[in-house]
A and B are shown apart, each in its own frame.
Chain A
């Protein structure tokens, strides 16, 4: 099975992942190789098998809905690329 250049571009767009034009065909080749590997799974009959998400089949725990931590905004924003007046700055989205 192989992945086309345009499918690679679609995935890169979905993942908002910039890849250089000249690298796309090499990603297509690598991913096609991976897909070939993955098709081996079709050799195994998995009808009626329950998908496994956690090795101990543990489900998400519930906890009492109380405040346990206060967010320290200043501390977190100190490592942000760009902030102003307590807000994270990004390029303008609405004209």
Chain B
């Protein structure tokens, strides 16, 4: 039953093949059985069973929604009332959120069953899940490899069938990169599409929540619940939410695909390039035409990101002061000592690095040279996207330069880790939506194809991914040992 899609499960729950309680118990068993993956920070077993019972009552009464009774899991960045919300940090190891994120509220009212909270890089800062206070998550395809990050727990859990689907957040690739490295489907929506209320902030002008699923159809169903304007998020965009399933079966005849030449140059490993070429050929068979496009400012995406994200992070994380919630050091001698030691002991190394970088970039005398300059570069990058997307319907390219790297391989070299996000970061700067779709394997490890679209064209991306998944079976592959 754990291999079924959301639509299939919804059918089984309605036909009486099994109940939500039975389904939930099966997933809870699997979570415990595969605890060594370290995908979950918290398992909410009692609450899950309670929610499953309520779902079964709704199903019997005939007032269930599509997600009613479906076991899902939340990235531990989303606040869940009465449940520990750690954000992968010692700083919030004792934090029981006093309210729900809007996204959590929406899943709760749809009747979805939350199995628990998923491991992640500390405060979503990392590309390997190794910066988590709770330890690295393992990639189900090779337990010596990273699952990617920061939504590494989400990707590993979905790939290993420890949840039907999961939420993720993406600031510089944190949904798409782990989705690619774990062989699942991940969608970063347009900035402002999904509410950030109750989603612990890292870089507010870039952060965006989205679905992590096995198939595009499941992603459409999840996004349907997540998307929408929220008064409580001042950056939420008031654009109506379409029916994301309505266009899934549209033909791709005549689709214009652009390949940004900067995505296929030096640095892309040859086995990933070959896998993507085969995927793009599938699209040709589906009736698409392929042209080359150019994004001249793309190479400056990493520098611009590593000013803007740390600057916003240094401001956002100033709220963790050891006074009102979260970690407080022992026996502070005075207020400065309380702030300094609580933060010094509560944050890990990567978070400190970014707070220091952001503080430097925003400090007197450097603000214009770094922050304003980066915001100007950001505008030019976003204009590149607008120009390229005016010529084509979508762009396609790699998500990552290579497949999953080994645990411990890059953690001591932060710059090298940053550079591996070259294909995902620019999308966040522009704010456009993008997906990672399983496109094959290279030496036994999954490869993701990135599809980048116009603002608010999530329905188009889902249609394009779904059509590919009708003629390929990469998205249904199960890692060995998790069948």
Physical interaction between A and B: yes
Residues of A that sit less than 8 Å from B by CB: 3, 7-8, 10-12, 14-20, 23, 27, 30-31, 33-34, 37-44, 46, 49-56, 58, 60-61, 63, 72, 75-76, 78-82, 88, 90-93
B245 to chain A minimum Cβ distance, whole angstroms, is 25
Tally of contact residues, B, Cβ under 8 A: 70
Residue of B321, B356, B431 touching A55 (CB-CB under 8 A): B431
B322's partner among A7, A42, A46, A81 (CB-CB below 8 A) is A81
Residues of B within 8 A of A (CB): 94-96, 98, 190-192, 205, 231, 234-235, 237, 297, 299-300, 302-304, 306-307, 314, 318, 321-326, 328, 332-341, 343-345, 347, 349, 352-353, 355-357, 359-360, 363, 370, 372-380, 382, 414-415, 418, 430-432, 455
Please determine whether B380 and A46 come into contact, CB atoms closer than 8 angstroms: yes
A53 touches B344 (CB 8 A): no
Contact yes or no, A52 B356, CB < 8 A:
no
Among A16, A27, A55, A80, contact of B336 (Cβ-Cβ < 8 Å)? A16
**Nearest-CB distance from A13 to chain B (Å)?**
8
Contact assessment for A52 and B234 in the assembled complex, using a CB-CB cutoff below 8 Å? no
Q: By the criterion CB–CB under 8 Å, are B375 and A34 in contact?
A: no
Pairwise interchain contact B234-A27, C-beta atoms closer than 8 A: no
Q: How far is the CA of A33 from the CA of B302 in the complex (A)?
A: 13
- 7 of the cross-chain contacts (CB-CB < 8 Å) are A12-B356, A17-B343, A40-B300, A41-B303, A54-B191, A78-B98, A91-B337
A52 touching B376, Cβ below 8 Å: yes
Chain A residues whose C-beta falls within 8 Å of the C-beta of B372 in the assembled complex: 51
Q: With A11-B360, A16-B343, A51-B379 in contact, is A56–B414 under 8 Å at CB?
A: no
B95 to chain A, nearest CB (A): 7
Complex CA distance for A50 and B418, rounded to whole angstroms:
26
Interface centre among B303, B318, B325, B356 (most CB of A within 10 A): B356
Bound CA span A2–B363, Å: 16
Instruction: List, in ascending order, chain A residues with CB within 8 A of B324's CB.
Output: 76, 80, 88
A residues less than 8 Å from B306 (CB atoms): 34, 37-38
| Contact (Cβ within 8 A) A16 B339 | yes
Inter-subunit contact A56/B344 (CB<8 Å): no
Residues of chain A within 8 A (CB-CB) of B325 are: 76, 79-81
Within the complex, the shortest CB–CB distance from A61 to chain B, in Å, comes to 6
The answer to whether A41 touches B353, judged by C-beta atoms less than 8 angstroms apart, is no
Q: Which of A7, A43, A55, A90 contacts B382 (CB 8 A)?
A: A55
Name which residue of chain A comes closest to B317, CB basis. A15
Q: Chain B nearest CB: distance from A33 CB in Å? A: 5
Q: Which residue of B lies closest to A60 (CB)?
A: B234
Q: Given A16, A23, A30, A46, which contacts B414 in the complex, CB threshold below 8 Å? A: A30
Task: List B contacts of A46 (CB < 8 A).
Answer: 373, 376-377, 380
Report the minimal beta-carbon distance from A41 to chain B, rounded to whole angstroms: 5
15 further contact pairs, Cβ within 8 A, besides A15-B314, A40-B300, A91-B334:
A16-B321, A27-B352, A31-B353, A37-B306, A37-B415, A38-B306, A38-B370, A44-B377, A46-B377, A54-B192, A55-B205, A76-B324, A78-B98, A80-B324, A81-B323
Q: Are B304 and A58 in contact (CB under 8 A)?
A: no
Residues of A within 8 A of B375 (CB): 51-53
Query: A76 vs B379: C-alpha distance in the bound complex, in angstroms?
Result: 40
Residues of B within 8 A of A8 (CB): 356
Q: How far is the CA of A80 from the CA of B324 in the complex (A)?
A: 5
Residue of B nearest to A76 (CB): B98
Q: Are A44 and B360 in contact (CB under 8 A)?
A: no
Residues from chain B with Cβ under 8 Å of A17 in the complex: 340, 343-344, 347, 352, 355-356, 359
Question: Judging by beta carbons under 8 Å apart, are B355 and A50 in contact?
Answer: no
Contact of B430 among A38, A53, A55 (CB under 8 A): A55
Q: How far is the CA of A7 from the CA of B361 in the complex (A)?
A: 12
A78 to B341, CA, bound (A): 22
Q: Which residues of chain A are near B338, meaning CB under 8 Å?
A: 90-91
Query: Is B234 within 8 A of A51, CB to CB?
Result: no
CB-CB under 8 A from B378, the residues of chain A are: 51-52
B352 in contact with A38 (CB, 8 Å): no
A88:B323 contact, CB within 8 angstroms: yes
Closest chain A residue to B328 by CB distance? A81
Q: Chain A residues with Cβ under 8 A from B340's Cβ?
A: 16-18
